[in-house]
Each structure stands twice: as C-alpha cells, then as structure tokens.
Homo-oligomer: A and B are copies of this chain.
Amino acid sequence: MVRQKIKIKDIAKMAGVSAGTVDRILHNRGNVSRASREAVERVLAEVNYKFNLHISAISCRKTFRITVTTPIASPGEYWSSIQSGIEHAIEEYSDINISCNYAYYNQYDIYSCKSAFNSITDQVPDAVIIGPTFVHETQELCKRLDAANIPYIFVDSVIPDTHPVATFTTDHYTCGFLLGKLLLSMSAKEGSVAILGAQRTGNERASTSLERRRGFRDYMARSGLTDRIREASFSVLNPEENEKSIMEFIQANRDIRGIAVMNSRGYIIADILRKKGIDDIIIISFDLTSNNIRCIKNGSITALLCQRPELQGFNAIKEMMQHLIYKQEGKGNHYTMPIDIVMQENLPYYK
C-alpha cells in the first residue's frame, strides 16, 4: 500500500553505479558503457520509476520560451477560452520557468496570419502552440519548425502533413451528428430543420463546420429525413445584413422547427428570432461564448455543444512541458475532448 517511492539514488545503488550515470541513461544522453546501461536497465525493468516533473524542472534551471499562435479573440469568445486555459496552466505549473509569447493573427486575413507565423520563426522559441486556421500557411510554418527542430502542439484542430508532438481536438463530425439527434428529438416532430453556416470568404480553410455539417447530414440521412433539411448561410463580419436574409429564409420555409448553427455564432440567429418574437423554433449551436451564454440564459438558445477549450489550452501547455523537460520521442498523441451538452440548467457549473 505504501510502497516506498523509488528515486534515482536507489536505482544507482541497486545497479552499482552512480546517480549521474542513471540520469544519463534515463535521458538518453549517451556516454555510458554497455555494462552500466545493461545493469541499470535491468533494475529499471523491475522497479517502477517515475520522474518528478517539478523537481526536474527546477533543477534544470532553464526557462522555456513558448510561443502561442491563435486567432485574435475578444474576451468571452472561443479562442480566449483556449488562451485562458494556457494561462491557467502556466499558473498551475508556476514552478516550471516558462515565458510565454503570443503571436495572434486575424482568422479572416491570410496576410495577418503569414506575418504572425513569420515572426514566430524569427523569435526561435523553444516550443510553439498552434491554433490553426489556414491550412497552407500552417503547413509552411510547421515545415520551418520541423527544420529548426522546434516542437509544436495543435489545439482545436489538426492540419494534415505536419508532425506535432501532440494534438488536442474535438470530434467535429460526431458533434454534428449529436447536434442532429438533439435537434430532432427536441423540436416538434413534424416540420423541417435548418443548417446555418458562416459565409466563408473563399479560403480553403480546414473547416470545422464542414465536418460538423457532414455529421449532421449523416444523422438526418440515417433517420431517413434528408428531405427535411433546409440550408442557408449568414455573415459573421456584417451582422446588419443578416436580419433581412435570415427572415426571408424563415418566411420561405415556414415549417422550420429547429436550427443548427454550425459555428459559435448561434447568438446572431437567436437574437434575430427573439427580436421578431419567434419562439417556436429551437436553436442549438456551439461553444460557451459570452454571447451564447446570454442566449442560453434568456432561453433563445436551447443547447450548446462545447469542446472544453480551456482544457485544450491547459493540457497543451502541460504536455509541452513534459516534452521539453523529458525530450521524449515525439509520440504524436492525439487527444479528443469530451463533447459537453450545455443547457440552461447545467450552464452555471460549466463556467
């Protein structure tokens, strides 16, 4: 029960070598004779040795410079949750010396992204956390990081043909599928459901919302209800335009009973319907942003699907610190976050 924790010194004694040698072996630093290595490895196979991250960190007295690059976010928006998870981790692991730099970019402006990414490789950090948007630019960045041997971790989504140390994402397809199920079972059984997405300004984005849409449509198809789907898009950048087009869409499809908003802008639609006094259409959207929270509270959004952005940020930093301190072989772990269903009642406990 209280099996004594075993330390490097213990291993050294058991293997008949010094602590320094054990350390060299544990960290693959080389400069060890075969005899010593084998002796130590024999001991290691028997005992269950575990590093202590915190002690390791303080004794290597190095400060790690991590750069975080994500879309700019106002407080309360999706990306700011990821950022707060990151700050939270830095706080929690304050014994590890890390200095964090941010390189924000405008997710609607590819040039802003290019220049942010350029600044990163100029700084030559020890590690990078990437919240990606533009596929090609991110791939270029990763290529340079690979060349410079700088480790990186993705949050929110993965970009193909890259070699991250780890990835923290959600299963967007399943999110869409689940959204379909919820919307159908919670809205009136007759009538149609609508998919609303953002108007994209023609970039080849690795679209999260495309995956969600695919999941949603698959659910509908499996239920034999593909013909009940209506579809439209709205503008995130010019919200003024939306009211008219959304209302036209609603008028033209009077049997709509549920709306799936495939990004975190459910509140835009909810506010319009509320303003027009329409309360027999339920809305489900994504992410616990402050605007969406407001709508959950006033009842204009029925549910939100959330993907633990804080946890993504937190764990990204945590994982990166382990990597930096123990320089493990890039395991490329892919962690998929839980999908939380948040409604008015359980909202308070998610904030």
Which residues from chain A sit less than 8 Å from chain B, CB to CB? 1-2, 5, 50, 52, 54-55, 58, 63, 94-95, 97, 99-101, 171, 174, 177-178, 181, 185-186, 189, 336-341, 343, 345-346, 349-350
Contact = CB atoms under 8 A, between A and B. Distances in A.
A69 to B, nearest CB: 15
B94 A5 contact: yes
Contact of A5 (B1, B97, B177, B341): B97
Contacts of A94: 5, 50, 52
Contacts of A336: 349
A343 B178 contact: yes
A249 to B, nearest CB: 25
A9 to B, nearest CB: 14
B52 A345 contact: no
A5 B339 CA distance: 36
A99 B337 contact: no
Given A178-B346, A340-B340, 16 more contacts: A2-B63, A5-B97, A54-B54, A54-B95, A55-B58, A174-B345, A178-B343, A181-B343, A181-B345, A186-B186, A189-B189, A336-B349, A337-B349, A339-B345, A340-B346, A341-B343
B343 A340 contact: no
Contacts of A50: 94
A54 B55 CA distance: 8
A65 B50 CA distance: 21
Contacts of A97: 5
Contacts of A5: 94, 97
Given A50-B94, A349-B339, A1 B178 contact: no
A350 B2 CA distance: 30
26 contacts: A1-B99, A1-B101, A2-B99, A5-B94, A50-B94, A52-B58, A52-B95, A54-B55, A54-B95, A55-B95, A171-B349, A174-B346, A177-B345, A178-B343, A181-B343, A185-B186, A186-B186, A189-B189, A337-B349, A338-B350, A339-B345, A340-B340, A340-B341, A341-B341, A341-B343, A341-B346
A157 B99 CA distance: 41
Nearest to A188: B189
Contacts of A339: 345-346, 349
Nearest to A186: B185
A1 B174 CA distance: 39
A178 B52 CA distance: 42
Contact of A338 (B100, B181, B185, B349): B349
A340 B341 CA distance: 7
Contacts of A346: 174, 178, 338-341
A339 B344 CA distance: 11
Given A55-B95, A95-B55, A100 B1 contact: yes
A346 B186 CA distance: 17
Contacts of A343: 178, 181, 341
A177 B347 CA distance: 13
Contacts of A54: 52, 54-55, 95
